[in-house]
A and B are shown apart, each in its own frame.
Chain A
Amino acid sequence: MSTAEGGLTWTVYDANKMTQREIYGLVLTELGEKHPEIVGLSADLAKSTKISDFGDRFPERFFNVGIAEQNLFGMAAGMAKAGLIPFVSTFSVFATLRAGEFLRTDLCYQNLNVKVIATHGGTSFGSAGATHHSIEDLALLRAIPNLTVIVPADGIETAKAIRACMDIKGPVYIRIGRGFEPPVFESEDYDFEIGKAIELRPGTDITVIACGATVYHAIEASRMLEREGVSVRVLDLHTLKPFDDDAIRRAVAETRRIITVEDHNRIGGLGGAVADVIARGGKGCAFETLGIPDTFCSHGYPEDIMHIYGIDTDGIAAKIREVLGRDFEDDEDWEDEV
């Protein structure tokens, strides 16, 4: 179990009616009751990110800095130096790109205990267009030392991650969506450990590794392929950093075909991290990455965007069928070395 925090936990019943953001707001407020050192900060997106729940309950511990993301991160760093635990929320694109150097130099270089809960990750704010999409954040953040990077699959996993990040004495980035991602987990009654992938479906023919909103679709695709007699393992790789190399190596050894899928540029995110582990492992393996193909996406509903770029159930299923038919170099000594 990740954390000693008890209290209220969430089930699919609540999660069905609430967005990831809403669950975040409620869990943070609950943590705030127990931890007087928690403070909240936002930049005119308190209501939009739901950190306003915390602000309404603890007005004296909440700071809306106006539309000023650099100052948002600078102030959070100062509060952390004073001994507080700041939770900072704005849209993912502004947290990482607008305030990126403040995140890196103030929070990560000084290894400060600040939690960045970034909403509207990936293309989840679809209709707002490229200015508000965040398809570069994981590539950028993976390269920043000291930072823990988590992409929960749904609202319930968001609750788990928010509680678990309290155990880390350093900067944590949690990327959540805009809302309405279908629930993956039934309740909070499961083991969530930062840095450890979760096998959501066992499988022997191929492994689909997903994070965030694509986890649900990976499961659906796995179910679809099961009806065709294909055994698809699904890993919820919720932590991009530190990375669960072992889960990847095991998947390579046991299924020898891997697909990654993420709501992010195909460059530098989950796919890149998995490719790195596979290449260093030196084992032949059929491998594909699904994600945004290095382009600024058009605006549109998130479900449409996910469909167009093939990161929804249909796209994943099609890619599974393709990769199942693919050849790869088979070492003679493969079995010995595994």
Chain B
Amino acid sequence: MPLTEQERQQFTAIAKKIRGDLVDVTQWSGGAHIGGSLSMVDLAVLLYWKYLKLDPAQPDWPDRDRFVLSKGHAGLGHAVVLANRGYFDIALLKDFNQYGSPFGMHLDSRKVIGVEVSTGSMGHGLPEAVGLALGARVLGASWRVYCIIGDGESNEGSIWEAAMAAAHYKTGNLIAFLDRNHLMIDGRTEDIMSLEPLADKWSAFGWNTVVVNGHDLDALAVAIEAAQAHTTGPSMIVCETVKGKGVDFMENNPAWHYGGLSVDLAAKAKQSLGV
């Protein structure tokens, strides 16, 4: 179902606030993976505020849904989402990246509350998500697994090894999202290593696949609910996104895969976001 007007307004406001926080933390930390964090914000808000079964007060609640950020370099984005969702105080991110802080640029599941899997090396999250999904089946548990992978990350063989396994074992409790922002570090994905026809590849691998605008909350909601209803195998929601979404000088700019922000530049970024 599309969102209610109230939900739409609420989630839009949260996404905007989170984008502003991403700018702050990037400035505090001296440098962070802001481009690929901004591209997944809308999806992450929808998951954390509507679809994930979770309780920030009980991060180890056994029946919670499991969220795996396979593109773990966007740990900045994940940390800011978790803070806003009430897992911890956002002030803890003041020393993001510094020695002694629990928060490094790739989040450590043994240090950061709410993080299920330590990622950061590409192509590890999806295999673990498949394992978690099968774990739920063996345990007879009803929780689902949600996983975000990158498009550059989709170059990794292990992504396709996991894709085969998920389809083979018919993990109907696994819903994956591909943050299709068309950029990786060295440039555009189609210039570095062509991925297209990407959705067709996932379909051919046996996944229930759709393509949506990853910044359109209603379209995402419809796709997620359809994926939840598809229980005979894994679902892939390819989210067409813009890397750096919301900050004009970062949008579609490979230079903003990772970067630092001076006070001035941070102010410009916030101006562009309207926060």
Interface residues of A (CB under 8 A from B): 42-48, 52, 64-68, 70-71, 93-94, 98, 126-132, 298-301, 304-305, 308
At the interface, yes or no: B192 with Cβ under 8 Å from chain A? yes
Give the CA-CA distance A301 to B121 in the complex, in Å: 19
User: What are 16 A-B contacts with C-beta separation under 8 Å?
Assistant: A42-B186, A44-B193, A67-B123, A67-B156, A68-B155, A68-B156, A93-B121, A127-B31, A129-B104, A131-B106, A131-B119, A131-B121, A132-B120, A299-B105, A300-B98, A300-B99
Contact B184 A66 (CB under 8 A): yes
Number of interface residues of B (CB under 8 A): 28
**For A70, what are the chain B residues with a Cβ–Cβ distance below 8 Å?**
157
Q: Lowest 8 CB-CB distances: which A-B pairs, in order?
A: A300-B99, A66-B193, A299-B104, A131-B120, A66-B155, A129-B104, A67-B155, A304-B99
Give the CA-CA distance A94 to B123 in the complex, in Å: 12
At the interface, yes or no: B116 with Cβ under 8 Å from chain A? no
In the complex formed, the residue of B with least CB distance to A130 is B108
Give the CA-CA distance A130 to B184 in the complex, in Å: 22
Interface residues of B (CB under 8 A from A): 31, 72, 97-101, 104-106, 108, 118-123, 152-153, 155-157, 184-186, 189, 192-193
Give the CA-CA distance A47 to B255 in the complex, in Å: 11
In the complex formed, the residue of B with least CB distance to A68 is B155
**For A44, what are the chain B residues with a Cβ–Cβ distance below 8 Å?**
152, 155, 184-186, 192-193
Give the CA-CA distance A64 to B194 in the complex, in Å: 11
Give the CA-CA distance A71 to B157 in the complex, in Å: 8
**For B189, what are the chain A residues with a Cβ–Cβ distance below 8 Å?**
66
Contact B186 A129 (CB under 8 A): no
In the complex formed, the residue of A with least CB distance to B153 is A67
Contact A129 B99 (CB under 8 A): no
Give the CA-CA distance A45 to B186 in the complex, in Å: 7
Contact A129 B152 (CB under 8 A): no
Give the CA-CA distance A128 to B100 in the complex, in Å: 13
**For A132, what are the chain B residues with a Cβ–Cβ distance below 8 Å?**
106, 120-121
Contact A68 B97 (CB under 8 A): no
A45, A130, A308: the one within 8 Å of B99 (CB): A308
Known A-B contacts A44-B185, A52-B186; the reply to A68 vs B120 at CB < 8 A is no
Contact A300 B100 (CB under 8 A): yes
Give the CA-CA distance A154 to B105 in the complex, in Å: 26
Contact B105 A67 (CB under 8 A): no
Contact B186 A299 (CB under 8 A): no
Closest chain-B Cβ to A242's Cβ sits at a distance in Å of 31
B72, B99, B193: the one within 8 Å of A131 (CB): B72
**For A128, what are the chain B residues with a Cβ–Cβ distance below 8 Å?**
104-106, 120
B118, B119, B153, B185: the one within 8 Å of A45 (CB): B185
In the complex formed, the residue of A with least CB distance to B98 is A300
**For B186, what are the chain A residues with a Cβ–Cβ distance below 8 Å?**
42, 44-47, 52, 64
Give the CA-CA distance A46 to B191 in the complex, in Å: 13
Given contacts A298-B104, A300-B100, 14 further A-B contacts (CB under 8 A): A44-B155, A44-B185, A46-B186, A65-B155, A66-B192, A67-B153, A67-B156, A70-B157, A127-B97, A130-B108, A131-B106, A131-B118, A299-B106, A308-B99
Closest chain-A Cβ to B3's Cβ sits at a distance in Å of 34
Contact A301 B185 (CB under 8 A): no
Closest chain-A Cβ to B111's Cβ sits at a distance in Å of 9
Known A-B contacts A70-B157, A304-B99; the reply to A129 vs B120 at CB < 8 A is yes
Contact B104 A65 (CB under 8 A): no
Closest chain-A Cβ to B255's Cβ sits at a distance in Å of 10
Known A-B contacts A66-B152, A299-B97; the reply to A127 vs B157 at CB < 8 A is no
Give the CA-CA distance A308 to B98 in the complex, in Å: 13
**For B122, what are the chain A residues with a Cβ–Cβ distance below 8 Å?**
67
Closest chain-A Cβ to B148's Cβ sits at a distance in Å of 16
Closest chain-B Cβ to A48's Cβ sits at a distance in Å of 7
**For B119, what are the chain A residues with a Cβ–Cβ distance below 8 Å?**
131
**For B105, what are the chain A residues with a Cβ–Cβ distance below 8 Å?**
127-129, 299
Give the CA-CA distance A126 to B123 in the complex, in Å: 21
Give the CA-CA distance A9 to B56 in the complex, in Å: 58
**For B120, what are the chain A residues with a Cβ–Cβ distance below 8 Å?**
128-129, 131-132
In the complex formed, the residue of B with least CB distance to A45 is B185
**For A68, what are the chain B residues with a Cβ–Cβ distance below 8 Å?**
155-157, 193
A52, A71, A98, A304: the one within 8 Å of B121 (CB): A98
**For A47, what are the chain B residues with a Cβ–Cβ distance below 8 Å?**
185-186
Closest chain-A Cβ to B69's Cβ sits at a distance in Å of 12
Contact B121 A94 (CB under 8 A): yes
Give the CA-CA distance A286 to B98 in the complex, in Å: 37
